[in-house]
Amino acid sequence: MPHRWTRHAAFVCVALFAIVTLPAAAKDAPEKPVLTMAVGGLPGLYYLPVLVANQLGYFKDEGLDVTLEDFAGGSKALEAVVGGSADVGAGAYEHTIFMQAKGQHYRAFVLMGRAPQIVVAVTKSKAGSIRSLADFKGAKVGVSAPGSSTDLVLTVALRKAGVQRSDISAIGVGSGATVLSAVSSGQIDALSNVDPMMTKLQRAGEIKVLVDTRTVKGTQDVFGGTMPAATLYASESFIQKNPKTTQALANAIVRADHWLQHASDADLVKMVPKAYLLNDKALYVEAFHNVRDAYSPDGLMPVDGPATALRALSSFDTQLDPSKIDLNATYTNDFARKAATLVK
C-alpha cells in the first residue's frame, strides 16, 4: 500500500510540475518563429554580428528560423522592410530617424556597431588630382547604394570640407566583389565603403584613405561623438505585436556581440563562409582587426549616439527638421538590457 501511494504521489508531482512549467515555456516562445531579415550587404564586416548569430546557431537557439535576404545596401534593405517583404531589418540606426521624419515609426532594438566602419578613399589613378576631400567636386564616388550609410558618412565628411552632396555623382557599387570591379574599370574616382573590400584595396595599394570610421576615435573625429551604426530594427507595430520574437532576436545578437569581443582568428575563419573570405583568410582577418573596435560589446545604444546620428542625418538631408524628431521613439535599450542578463 505505501508503495502504491508513493507511485501515485510521484505521478501527481510530475503532473503538477508539467502544469507549472509548460505555461512558462510557452511564455518564452517567439510569437513569430519563422521570419525574414533584410540585410544591407551581408558579406561586409559591418553586419558580422548577424552572420555570427546565423552561422553559430544563435537564432535557432532562441527558437527562430531566420531567412537572411541580402541587399546591395542599407537603403535597399530598408525598402524591403517598409514594403513588407521582410519582417526585420539589419541596417544603420539612422534609418529609424529618417523614417520618423516621413511619419513612419521604426525602432532599433539592439546595437551591433558603435562606429560606422566606413572608409572614404580616392583611387590610385586619381590620387594626384584628388588630394583631399575639398577636391571631390565633380568626382564620381562609389557608395554601396545611394541613401545608405556609406552615402551618409561621405556627405558629412564632404560638408566639413566645404563640398556639397550635389557637387559629386554618387554611384551604387554594392559592398562585395562589385566594388573591386568598379575600381579596376575606372568607373569611379573615389569611394565610400566597408571592409573587407576597403582593406583589400588598401593592401593592394589601389586606394588612398582620407576618412576612416573603423574605430571609435576615427568616428568621433568625423561626427564629434559616438555614431551608432548597424542595428536590428523593426516597425513599432511589429515590436508591440511580437515582443518575445524581438527579445529572441536581441538575445542572439547580444550573444554574437559578446562572441566577437573574444573570438580568436581561428574561430573567425572557421565561422565565416568560404565565399566571404575572398580566397584570402589572412586578408579577412586583417580587415576584422581593422574594425574590431567598432563592434558593440553589449548591444546597448550609447547615451550620446542618437543625438550624434540626428546631427549627421540633418546634415545629409537638409529637409529633415531635427526639432520634429523624438529620438526616444527611434530606439530602445530594453531588449538589450534583458539580453545581457541571459548572455554570459
User: d(Cα 288, Cα 290) in Å, to the nearest integer?
Assistant: 5
pLDDT of residue 319: 87
In this model, does residue 326 exceed pLDDT 50?
A: yes
Examine residue 2 and say whether the peptide bond preceding it is cis (omega within 30 degrees of 0).
Answer: no
Query: What is the average pLDDT score of the chain?
Result: 91
In this model, does residue 105 exceed pLDDT 50?
A: yes
- Sorting pLDDT into bands at 50, 70 and 90, what band is 26? very low
pLDDT of residue 288: 97
Q: Give the Å distances, CA to CA, from 243 to 11, 30, 104, 216, 344.
A: 35, 8, 19, 31, 22
- Sorting pLDDT into bands at 50, 70 and 90, what band is 24? very low
pLDDT of residue 22: 36
User: d(Cα 90, Cα 81) in Å, to the nearest integer?
Assistant: 10
pLDDT of residue 171: 96
pLDDT of residue 17: 43
**CATH fit for domain 118-212, picks 3.20.20.370, 3.10.580.10, 3.40.50.2300, 3.40.190.10:** 3.40.190.10
pLDDT of residue 1: 45
pLDDT of residue 148: 86
Sheet hosting strand 65-70, strand order edge to edge: 65-70, 34-39, 88-92, 230-235, 106-111
pLDDT of residue 101: 95
- Sorting pLDDT into bands at 50, 70 and 90, what band is 316? confident
User: d(Cα 118, Cα 126) in Å, to the nearest integer?
Assistant: 20
Q: Considering only CA atoms, which of 211, 344, 277 is closest in space to residue 45?
A: 277
What integer is the mean pLDDT of 177-191? 96
Higher pLDDT, 285 or 7: 285
What integer is the mean pLDDT of 43-60? 97
- Alpha-helical (H) ranges within the chain are 2-28, 48-55, 58-61, 74-83, 94-101, 149-160, 177-184, 197-203, 216-223, 236-241, 243-262, 265-271, 281-291, 305-316, 334-342
pLDDT of residue 301: 98
pLDDT tens digits, one per residue of 245-268: 999 999 999 999 999 999 999 999
Amino acid identity at 312: A
Task: Please count the other Cβ atoms lying within 10 Å of the Cβ belonging to residue 195.
Answer: 28
- Sorting pLDDT into bands at 50, 70 and 90, what band is 177? confident
Domain residue spans of the chain: 31-115+227-342, 118-212
User: d(Cα 342, Cα 306) in Å, to the nearest integer?
Assistant: 26
pLDDT of residue 342: 86
Is the Cα dihedral 61, 82, 194, 178 positive or negative? Answer: positive
In this model, does residue 38 exceed pLDDT 50?
A: yes
This prediction's pTM: 0.86
- Sorting pLDDT into bands at 50, 70 and 90, what band is 318? confident
Secondary structure of residue 321 in the 3-state scheme: coil
Task: Give φ, ψ of 273 to 5 degrees.
Answer: -60, 145
Q: Are strands 190-194 and 118-123 parallel, antiparallel or unpaired?
A: antiparallel
pLDDT of residue 87: 98
pLDDT of residue 343: 79
Contacts of 296 (CB under 8 A, 6+ apart): 49, 111, 112, 113, 114, 257
User: d(Cα 204, Cα 53) in Å, to the nearest integer?
Assistant: 31
In this model, does residue 344 exceed pLDDT 70?
A: no
Q: Supply the CATH classification number for the domain 31-115+227-342.
A: 3.40.190.10
Q: Are strands 140-143 and 190-194 parallel, antiparallel or unpaired?
A: parallel
